Amino acid sequence: MNDYDETVLNIFLENQSQLFPENVAESLEEAREFLEDCMAAVCKNVQEVREYFDEAGMDAFGMDDEELLDASEVFSLPDGRFLIVEG
């Protein structure tokens, strides 16, 4: 679940302000280190996102897929995967 390829790193760098008030990374290497430190997860589909939230004890019961994917912790990737970063 944790494949921080260049797409993942770039999306996080470009969109980190959706979760953090200030940038936590300025380069691909800093982004990789930050994601590794906070054990961010890359999910291949919405079902894996839901499973991640359930396993992490987050209350996703009753949330539809759109609400789940609108969470600030979820970053949509252009290839249909999702990055989850707990802030």
Q: Rounded to a whole number, what is the distance in angstroms from the first to the last CA of the chain? A: 18
Q: What is the largest CA-CA distance in the chain?
A: 37
Instruction: Decide: helix, strand or coil at residue 2.
Output: coil
* Helix locations, the chain, DSSP H: 6-15, 28-37, 46-55, 65-69
pLDDT value at 10 more than 80:
yes
pTM tops 0.95, yes or no:
no
**Which pLDDT tens digit goes with each residue over 57-87?**
887 778 899 999 999 999 999 999 999 998 7
Q: Which residues pair with 75 in a beta bridge?
A: 83
Does residue 26 fall inside a structural domain? yes
Does residue 1 fall inside a structural domain? no
Does residue 52 fall inside a structural domain? yes
**The total number of structural domains that make up the chain:** 1
Give me the domain span that covers residue 13: 6-84
Q: In this predicted structure, what is the pLDDT of residue 1?
A: 54
Query: Residue 65, CB half-sphere, CA atoms under 13 Å: how many?
Result: 6
Q: In this predicted structure, what is the pLDDT of residue 5?
A: 97
